Structure 1
Amino acid sequence: MIIYEFKCKGKEKQYRAIDETIRTSQFIQNKCLRYWMDNKKIGRYDLNKYCAVLAQEFPFADELNSMARQSAAERSWSAISRFYDNCKKKIKGKKGFPKFKKNCRSVEYKTSGWQLSPNRKAITFRDKKGIGTLKLKGTYDLNYYDIKQIKRVRLVRRADGYYAQFAIDEAARCGGSPRCSDCRVDVRIETQPTKKAVGLDLGLNHFIADSNGNLELSPKFYRKAEKQLNRANRKKSKKFSKERKKAKARQSNNYRKARNRYARKHLKVSRQRKEYCKKLAYSVVHSNDVIVYEDLNVKGMIKNRHLSKSISDAGWSTFRQWLEYFGYKYGKITIAVPPYNTSQNCSNCGKKVKKSLSTRTHVCGHCNYVEDRDINASINILRLGLSTLGHSGTHAWGETPSWAIGVNLSSNGDSLNQESPEF
């Protein structure tokens, strides 16, 4: 699935209609969740049928496209099925019981309820919500794809405006199998081999240290913008009225403007981190044929209250997702290896040299080898990855990587250590 994103341009009346559509989708999603909680042995198709009951009972729900209502029900079922899977796998701790949504930011249409203009530069939503025609601003060209290949259209609200996302299926033009060469969307590009392999060690001071001795400093976008973020947050808090909250009244327009300014600053930091990881992953993939990296348990590492902010600011998961995506696109080999003892073992003699996190230089007492701690670890990572080539388990734990196709990357692997967002 390929995801293309465009910014939507319209009038203020249309934006309010989009907000109402998102609220309706959230209402249906919460109603389906309540229906599941009140009735036993409810399945996915039962929730889809319940959408028709909601449309008859609530006029504003009937104004939403029928497939958009089904998509909202599928979101509820996605949370329910994830809860069931966690219970079957007996995951430790909380199993992720589904929660009611309070602030949804998107609504999803399927193959009906919308229509693209002949030049594919505008989209018209044809349900009774009154969104109308929105102009699409972006660099992608939808004329390359058939309308039948667009399986989903999602409207997303962000701090700086509204966006439309198009999910393009790989094999939908003729309704055949993905092997059909006439309708398959293939993003793979052939490149000249570089005959190079590299190992990458991810860190906080240095974002990556490779086995060739190169160090890339961590940009620390959040740390640099933290003062501005805190200042904007204080200004937002000063305009918040506790009396209005107690009276369940709407906050002032000044508060809403301050909250939007605060959200825009966070959005800027997020986009900076994403673009940095994207460009760095692109450079690494084009410079090497084999890339070996650590399969870090980021979800578990951020539980460390002393390092959670720095780990979240680093963006290791984002870098890994783009690295695996570009590796798939350009035909390069990406290998994730377990990180255990890669920093402790000597890359020269293989002996274990214990050291704390504060010790940044590797000094081996057995062979007198001296090297930067991160570079020593990257050499061990490369050696460990090359030892798995030619075997069935070329990735960490013998599993497939979480590469995905598109702007919003989705998980395609089974790794328990990597959390990837889904479309």
Structure 2
Amino acid sequence: MRRSIQSGHGFMRAAAVLIAAAALAGASFRAAAEPGVTDKEIVIGMFAPMSGPLVAYGLDPARIAQTLYEEVNQKGGIHGRKIRVVTEDDKCQPNPLVAAVKKLVTVDNVFILHGGSCTAAVTAAQEFITREKVPLVMLAASGDSGVFPPTRYMFGSFMGTQRAHAAGLTEFAAKTLKAKRLGVIVHDDEYGNSSLATIRSAAERFGMEVVAVERIPLNISDVTAPMLNLRAAKPDAILSGGYPAPSVLIVQKYAEFGMSATPIMLMMQGVPTPSVFAKNVGNEAAFRNLYLSWGPNDLGDEALHQKWINLYKSKYTDREPGGFMIVGVPPAQAIIAALEKAGPNLTRERFVEAMESLELNSELMPGPIKFAPGRRDATRHENVVKFDGVKVTRMPGVYSWNGMDGNK
């Protein structure tokens, strides 16, 4: 009997060892099955316009992001894993972008996606990203349609959505310019609709009256009539939500029609590089009373700006980085912070949860980089700068969108 009991105990011990080994094997299998993650590396799929007319919106931000990843690797990686980046050229067009995303996910088996500089192109991949449950952290894209309504796997708008820029400038007009009557010129598309709804809501909140609204097409070549209508309305300030080419026309007519006594405010989307914008406008009178919304803190802070320029040039010497280079820094910082926060047992779902609970302070941003389960826009705080055609001066204070407007 004693031998039988001992044999039973031996069998149980052996069974326990087998069960434990099976559990460990299962755990190892699950870890190995997580795409883009091994004991030694994390694979990130990056896509951006790396060639063509919009290359400045993608190449420089992508390069500075990769530089930050390489700095992490030099310090030992994240929980012992080095970051490896696989890059694709999306040309800022929907079809090439979707093709790039599908290749990165299904062929290269990346862990997460980091990319996209043009919102319309990024949103074309939203269905695939949602179906495959692969997290995407946008590179430079900041349009409303990428983050409203929020979806689980897409994070972006690190430079501020149209709502953030429109609300920030409206608040600036009310609090700093002491404007009571606001004139508005925006596009007749989704960008314009969202901007206008936010401006109206913010103006009401600050006790301002929107006295004139002009809607213009994207391909407009003459803004004479809308600018004359704005002048006739006699606003205390003008808020422009145009893309770069129409913004040049707007400011040219603003100067030509002798409107420079009235402050004009432009959203960041219309002036990606202030020096180039000034050259295209070609009229000093246009910059006597001109303000821009601006996401990062580098504009007007030469030491901070030069710090990042120098980091870029320490690795890349083939080109002078454009104004959009800095846009690539905050999303890379957020990814690095979320990977750290997700811990060593890394999965896509843990990464999403880490991003959702992220509240990251960066020297480059006027407010925290912050997400939540029902929020996918990274920042709601904006700087405002005065631009005289040569010099940029950051205005005191930070201006923000409170998350409530006529878009809901």
Q: Which band: TM-score by shorter chain?
A: under 0.3
Higher relative contact order (CA closer than 8 Å, sequence separation 6+): 2
Report the TM-score when normalising by structure 2.
Answer: 0.22
